[in-house]
Structure 1
Amino acid sequence: MAELTGLFSPGRVAVVGATPREGAVGHAITSNLIEGFSGEVVGVNPNHDEVLGVDCVDSLADAGDPDLAVVVVPPGIAVDAVREAGECGVGDVVVITAGFGETGSEGATRERELREVAEEFDLNLVGPNSLGVMSTPVGMNATFGPDDALEGSLSFMSQSGAFITAVVDWANDQGIGFKDVVSLGNKAVLDEGDFVEAWNDDEETDVIIGYLEGISEGREFIETAREVTRETPVVLVKSGRTDAGAQAASSHTGTIAGSERAYEAGLEQAGVLRAESVQELFDSAQMLANQPLPANESIAVITNAGGPGVMSTDAVGDSRLSMASFSEDTLDSFREALPAEGNVHNPVDIVGDADVERFTGALEAALADPNVGMALVLSAPTAVLDYEELAERTVELREKHDKPVAACFMGGERVAPAAELLREAGIPNYFDPARAVESLDALAEYREIRGREYDDPTEFDVDRERVRELLDRAEQRGDNRIGVEAMEILEAYGIPIPDGEVVSDPAEAERVAGSIDGEAVMKIVSPDIMHKSDIGGVKVGVPESEVYDAYEDLVTRARNYQPDATLLGVQVQEMVDLDSGVETIVGMNRDPQFGPLLLFGLGGIFVETLEDVTLRVAPVSEREADAMIDEIDAAPLLRGARGREPVDEAAITETIGRLSQLVTDFPEIVELDINPLVATPTGTTAIDIALTVEQ
């Protein structure tokens, strides 16, 4: 783990490229530091003796052992400046300068050199192409943004510097403060995982939030975030949601499991709360920073407005929360306190003429009910309701019962003083009931995350050497797509397959069919024909007497469909009784950021149409494989729907685990489909496989 104390709490900061020229980045950063930084600031620029009243020296060697160097010089000399920082013993560097990997091959070369220098001197390097960093406890604004952040307990990272300037300006208006702020830039050295890990150990950071356009090392990030989120919530906005298929993929898994689906799976496995918008990001962060976690997911809504009460109920229906069922004692309390036209059931309508006493009496009874995990105080302004007094009493009751409370004091100017009282006490106020419910939902989700148990993947006894031999053989042929002849790979990893062989002439097909009990299934074997059933390249239920002619017909169909296709023969295998089982799919697509992304779902010919699938980043534990089975909509089919006998779910779990181990052991496998994997009451059988390797 990177020790980042010098980055956020430096005693002395050197600005390499400080300048008195207004409008220059070096001027803005120096000015921002001088205005608020509690430590010392020194400029580094051989053309000036002083900048904005602070000393300016010729080089970092003359800068008096700074803890942090902020590099603002042109890209052609920025690498030399970072090297000088390393030679002078500066451990933390922020490279503001652009013109690196984001600009093309020359910039990419320069960024590689920058990374090599950082590795040589073991530097904590932010950027390049960074807005800079802030840390409010020491008053440090080492950015060229126009505003200082307010002090608070949120630590914020962003791949967009412009987004930081906009957020800080907006947050200042909303009274939202930060502990640290980091513009990640190109992430040549330090990335999101480093900051998540560092902020977890920071007692002044209550919630970690971020805007990301990508994650550099997906699997490593999952492992880091799993540990961090046991103690510190992490909430991220990830852009690029609609760019779901960066490259066309030939397999079912590749088609379904685009980049966005990988991020969904990876961030969920990491225990990260994903916000859909900037508004949701800060709604969730403020709630997580200031409220206790609920004991359960049941919410009580106390309102003087029937319509907004119904709106909040709809919002609860769209969340993981549930409307609390009150105890008889609580219902009796409501009946005694409310007028006859009120509603004692959830949402509790205390009627439009309710004063503060009626409001807080109902809230007190609800929060005292052990069935209630959290509450929403929802009110519209009336002439008889003192909003400021209601805010004060709401704060008192939240502290008394130590349960999360959100406020929805609807209104404008009339609400402002009460909203400020609530904000100071850590109770956010929302105009929209749906936002209030969503923020409480984030608390419930984080409660579930903290309670998770993570297991190590099962290590199965497998034949790795046999798989290596088979993959090497495909490489020697120059094939990157391997079809049904890859069945032996599954067999080597203990995944059941039907009896059979791949043959290259009709007489051999007859021989194999004769050794099979019952009718046979025959399939074209070609790495160039992936969807064999579409061209009539599969024959089911072939009696032994028809095997010879079936072989000839299959080869003819393949030649007519694609004359230049590589034809490796025909697979003859025993026929599996599909009527007694359920066709599922187990697959993998290797994502550039997260690595092997496993897929499980309803299989067969309609897999891409129905897309009833779930995904996980491999390797997965038995617990995670079980969860994959639970999550698909078709799970009841596996468990005996319509009088069918339940399938062997333990066998599915084991198959997922064995496939997870296979694709983890052999990173050259970039796509793999087992479709269908037939699940029956007595086990599973892989009927067909398509496999792509990277040569």
Structure 2
Amino acid sequence: MTQRHLDRLLTPRSVAVYGASDKPARVGTTVWRNLASGGFKGPIAPVNPRLQTLDGMRCHAGTAALPFVPDLAVLCTPPDSIAGLVAELGERGTRAAIVVTAGLTPAQKQAALDAARPHVLRLLGPNCIGLLNPRLGLNASFTQAGARPGELALVSQSGALMTALLDWANTEGIGFSHLISLGEHMDVDFGDLLDHLATDRHTRAILLYIESITSPRKFMSAARAAARAKPVIVVKAGRAPAGIKAAASHTGALAGEDIVFDAAIRRAGMLRVDTLKELFIAAETLARFRDNRSAELMVMTNGGGAGVMVADAASALGVRLAQPGEALMRRLDAVLPANWSHGNPIDIIGDAPVQRYLDTLNALFDAPEAGAILFVHAPTAIVASRDIAEACAPRIATRRGRVMSCWLGGDTIAPARRLFEAAGIADYEAPEEAVRAFALMQTYRRNQAALRQTPAASAAGEPDLARARRLIDAALAAGREWLDEIDAKALIAAYGIPAVATRRVAATPDAAAAAAFEIAAPVVLKIVSPDILHKSEAGGVRLDLRGEEAVRAAARGMLERLRHERPEARIDGFSVQAMAERPHAQELIVGAHVDPVFGPVLLFGQGGTAVEVLGDRAVALPPLNRALARELIERTRVARLLAGYRDRPPAQLDALCDVLIAVARMLADLPELAELDINPLWADEGGVLALDARVRLSAARPAGVASFAVRPYPAELERTLAWQGRSVVMRPIRPEDEALHREFLEAADPEDLRMRFFEAPHRLSHDELARMTQIDYEREMAFVVVDPQAPGGPRTLGVARLVRDPDNVEAEFAVMVRSELKGQGLGRVLMQALLDYAAARGTQQIVGHVLRENRAMLALAKSLGFDSRADRDQPSEILLVCRRVGRVG
């Protein structure tokens, strides 16, 4: 519905419980007692026409009888009462309600939404447990226990799992900023809550338990924004392959629901874990070890067996153990017994006194190769674990972002573990758990890096869209769902993907032999049939045929076999193509498929006839750039072969990336594209070559930009302008613009930068520039004016930025031009582009914050119809407001 009034839901000042009861085993009884006993400081009221009082408080008959307007209402009444109560509450001024009630029919849910919409009243549920805000003492739920205050927010689609997690967290001493049960999320959903929690100063990490996503583009936009601000960790039910359905293409068969969800999580920069316990392990690690950037682990232990366990776990999880350098080895030799392990893991021997621990830690802290240290201790009778912890904890606390700890044992080491935890040191019950936590950190950093990586520009040219449209329109007009091989190759060739030239269909064996004679080289013969998609499996492919007779005989043999094995198949004839020979080529598959939730997806992996048996594949959500395409390739095993080995040189990865980018663009340009396989696609040191392609079309138009979970670059907004006697380009900013944008900002006058950013200029980091150039086109827009003919190469002349709230009610603008170009009208051109864009997107209001001394911007805004007023929160600023968006003058 909207982002509005989520604060009334999550941080209410007053609460009323409808259906509050005194009867045992009633949901309304539990909800009321949890609320009344939770320590909430604001007004609360039970509502039940049957009762005069409840637990010593006056009970009210209905909404009109309430002595206050509740910020939040909790509804535990029968399904047929919900819509009426929502209407009453909306009229009274309530702006949030939790629908605990289960069993609402689709019509009843729609009636509740219709009643809520005029008042922008937010609905959580139905069929949910409710929510808790421990900081406020708010327990508006029927959980079995309250929660400790903390900085983790948990949003769960399953109420039962939320109660189980709460019980476990209370045992472990873990606290929460919020616990929210979504239920059937007819209104408030994951996207809404991610947007809210991303800016909540009491939440440092967000935990999600997800069963399904209903608004993928909204979810992805909110998830990408939240993941840039704080860790977002996800458990998703349904890793098993039961959801994978049979499909005609290899891509359709391989791109199952769960692997697509994985791709979405990775694209958003979030972290996915497998179990509920890992959810909290990851949260704790990111809280206490997040800033550690080491890719390798150094292990310090007083037991050889514990060290072996760590090494085994590291090998299984792909975690590298650091190699001690010569300087570190000399220093350890000086402080450790002669029989120490002389390697990593560093075994300081079981009789180690306290000073040996401190000496070893000091040596490791001074060694650059020991960036991440795992401290593993097994209790002994020689030195008390508590004494070791008391000595080491203060030292580690000064470097706690470098140390993970594992105290092996139970009651004996409990005091030592508590001392480390109190010092803020990440601690784990078992060595394998610690290594798993480190591996999760590696995955999280990779996902975050992919979120911020600056891509190189693709070398792919503009596609021949007219040719592609003719092929598709002709096929659909003829009632054909599948393009034949020749048209499929022509389609991918229109997007710049090299393909083996194939002769038109030869109707008979004699015609196929004649085509082979014209080619005058070894040929490949394939059957052409709309009913046979996997030709190799049906015996419909013959390779390396030499001479007319060999081709004629092979064609007759194919027909004979198919008459017996596939008598129902329609045979249109044969295709004949020259036999390609590239001895170093690796067989790959590139494909596209439309997922029922996240829309178009791309697949890459090892190709050939055994593609489904090999199962070496990865998927990604479009759109792609070279950085994302390369990351997709690197997630497969075949990537190691593409890097070259023995006498095989490395394949041209840039050419392969451009194929993936081209297929992603096809999905955007061609809504009728339902499935695509390029298999095999050869890749070697000479580039790429498609040997075969299959394309399925659908008049239902399942692809296209509108179905993308991540909105692609809006190329339609690019335009050429005549400005000040030169031709310049105004277009949306792209991730590839990072270098141009850095030069633009670094060339600016320091006073201009202060006017724009309200602070003294500083050297911008990659992350800051990535945030400016890698925008979410669903919620943001930044127009740049670029002079492509500037001396020394293209140069950014100005930029105007618009960031909309998730509801598209309000958007904030900012504009800046090169210092030497001020006063020449470029700022007006950029501002007008923003106003036109906002009008086209239906944005209701544009606002801007401007320093009082920025007279030029204030004058420009006034001429464009903005009202100005003093900013009450920032006396040094003026607030500009434009409620009339679109072209002015």
Normalised by the length of structure 1, the TM-score is 0.91
- 1:529 counterpart = 2:532: yes
Q: 2:596 aligns to what?
A: 592
Given that 1:154 and 1:289 are in contact with CA atoms closer than 8 Å, whether structure 2 keeps it comes out as no
SS in 2 for 1:384: coil
CA distance in 1, matches of 2:149, 2:453: 35
Quote how far apart the aligned CAs of 1:640 are.
4.2
* Closer, same or farther: CA 113–567 of 1 in aligned 2, 3 Å: farther
Give matches, 1:245-644, under 5 Å.
245-452=243-450, 453-454=452-453, 461-484=462-485, 485-503=487-505, 505-506=507-508, 516=519, 518-542=521-545, 545-546=548-549, 554-555=558-559, 557-579=561-583, 581-644=585-648
* Closer, same or farther: CA 194–540 of 1 in aligned 2, 3 Å: same
Q: 1:11 aligns to what?
A: 13
Deviations 1:35-70 (A, max 9, x none): 121222123333334433444434435543222222
Quote how far apart the aligned CAs of 1:152 are.
0.9
Q: 1:190 aligns to what?
A: 188
CA distance in 2, matches of 1:437, 1:632: 23
Q: 1:104 aligns to what?
A: none
Moved more, 89-98 or 134-143: 89-98
Moved more, 262-271 or 85-94: 85-94
Quote how far apart the aligned CAs of 1:603 are.
1.3
* Count of aligned positions: 689
Quote how far apart the aligned CAs of 1:513 are.
5.0
Amino acid at match of 2:681: L
Quote how far apart the aligned CAs of 1:468 are.
4.1
Deviations 1:441-487 (A, max 9, x none): 33344344444424589696224444444434444444434442433
* Closer, same or farther: CA 346–51 of 1 in aligned 2, 3 Å: same
Quote how far apart the aligned CAs of 1:368 are.
2.8
CA distance in 2, matches of 1:180, 1:615: 33
Quote how far apart the aligned CAs of 1:310 are.
1.4
Given that 1:503 and 1:569 are in contact with CA atoms closer than 8 Å, whether structure 2 keeps it comes out as yes
Give matches, 1:67-82, under 5 Å.
67-82=71-86
Q: 1:682 aligns to what?
A: 686
Deviations 1:642-663 (A, max 9, x none): 3235433222111111111112
Given that 1:523 and 1:572 are in contact with CA atoms closer than 8 Å, whether structure 2 keeps it comes out as yes
SS in 1 for 2:203: coil
CA distance in 2, matches of 1:517, 1:627: 42
Which structure 1 residue ranges, 5 or more long, are not aligned? 101-106
Quote how far apart the aligned CAs of 1:684 are.
2.2
Amino acid at match of 1:489: L
- Specify which of 165, 179, 182 is matched with residue 181 of structure 1: 179
SS in 2 for 1:358: helix
- 1:163 counterpart = 2:167: no
CA distance in 2, matches of 1:526, 1:475: 17
* Closer, same or farther: CA 693–79 of 1 in aligned 2, 3 Å: farther
* Closer, same or farther: CA 425–519 of 1 in aligned 2, 3 Å: same
Given that 2:531 and 2:570 are in contact with CA atoms closer than 8 Å, whether structure 1 keeps it comes out as yes
Quote how far apart the aligned CAs of 1:75 are.
1.8
Amino acid at match of 1:14: A
CA distance in 2, matches of 1:575, 1:116: 64
Given that 1:218 and 1:266 are in contact with CA atoms closer than 8 Å, whether structure 2 keeps it comes out as no
Q: 2:26 aligns to what?
A: 24
Amino acid at match of 2:488: A
Q: 2:714 aligns to what?
A: none
Given that 1:487 and 1:497 are in contact with CA atoms closer than 8 Å, whether structure 2 keeps it comes out as yes
Moved more, 558-567 or 30-39: 558-567
Quote how far apart the aligned CAs of 1:510 are.
6.5
Deviations 1:173-232 (A, max 9, x none): 111111100111112222223222321211211111122222334454344333322331
- Specify which of 37, 40, 44 is matched with residue 43 of structure 2: 40
Amino acid at match of 1:689: A
- 1:655 counterpart = 2:659: yes
Moved more, 672-681 or 162-171: 672-681
Q: 2:134 aligns to what?
A: 136
Quote how far apart the aligned CAs of 1:530 are.
1.5
Given that 1:43 and 1:56 are in contact with CA atoms closer than 8 Å, whether structure 2 keeps it comes out as yes
Give matches, 1:45-84, under 5 Å.
45-63=48-66, 64-84=68-88
Moved more, 40-49 or 10-19: 40-49
Amino acid at match of 2:410: G
CA distance in 2, matches of 1:656, 1:447: 24
* Closer, same or farther: CA 108–554 of 1 in aligned 2, 3 Å: farther
* Closer, same or farther: CA 449–614 of 1 in aligned 2, 3 Å: closer
CA distance in 2, matches of 1:481, 1:76: 49
SS in 2 for 1:629: helix
Given that 2:271 and 2:447 are in contact with CA atoms closer than 8 Å, whether structure 1 keeps it comes out as no
Quote how far apart the aligned CAs of 1:131 are.
0.8
Amino acid at match of 1:13: V
Given that 2:47 and 2:59 are in contact with CA atoms closer than 8 Å, whether structure 1 keeps it comes out as yes
SS in 1 for 2:207: strand
Quote how far apart the aligned CAs of 1:12 are.
1.0
Given that 1:367 and 1:374 are in contact with CA atoms closer than 8 Å, whether structure 2 keeps it comes out as no
CA distance in 2, matches of 1:537, 1:341: 68
Amino acid at match of 2:332: F
Quote how far apart the aligned CAs of 1:143 are.
0.7
Amino acid at match of 2:282: S
Quote how far apart the aligned CAs of 1:139 are.
0.7
Deviations 1:91-143 (A, max 9, x none): 3222211114xxxxxx3444444455555543432221111111111111111
CA distance in 2, matches of 1:663, 1:142: 45
SS in 2 for 1:351: coil
* Closer, same or farther: CA 642–13 of 1 in aligned 2, 3 Å: same
Given that 2:301 and 2:376 are in contact with CA atoms closer than 8 Å, whether structure 1 keeps it comes out as yes
CA distance in 2, matches of 1:254, 1:681: 29
Moved more, 407-416 or 141-150: 407-416
Amino acid at match of 2:505: V
* Closer, same or farther: CA 667–97 of 1 in aligned 2, 3 Å: farther
Q: 1:239 aligns to what?
A: 237
Amino acid at match of 1:178: F
CA distance in 2, matches of 1:512, 1:681: 31
Which structure 2 residue ranges, 5 or more long, are not aligned? 700-889
CA distance in 1, matches of 2:562, 2:424: 69
Given that 1:648 and 1:679 are in contact with CA atoms closer than 8 Å, whether structure 2 keeps it comes out as yes
Given that 1:455 and 1:621 are in contact with CA atoms closer than 8 Å, whether structure 2 keeps it comes out as no
Quote how far apart the aligned CAs of 1:299 are.
2.4
Amino acid at match of 2:462: D
Deviations 1:5-32 (A, max 9, x none): 2222100112232223232111211111
SS in 2 for 1:43: strand
Amino acid at match of 1:28: T
Given that 1:236 and 1:273 are in contact with CA atoms closer than 8 Å, whether structure 2 keeps it comes out as yes
Amino acid at match of 1:268: R
Moved more, 557-566 or 149-158: 557-566
Quote how far apart the aligned CAs of 1:492 are.
2.7
Deviations 1:526-582 (A, max 9, x none): 332111122221233456735666656545544543333344443333332253533
Quote how far apart the aligned CAs of 1:251 are.
1.9
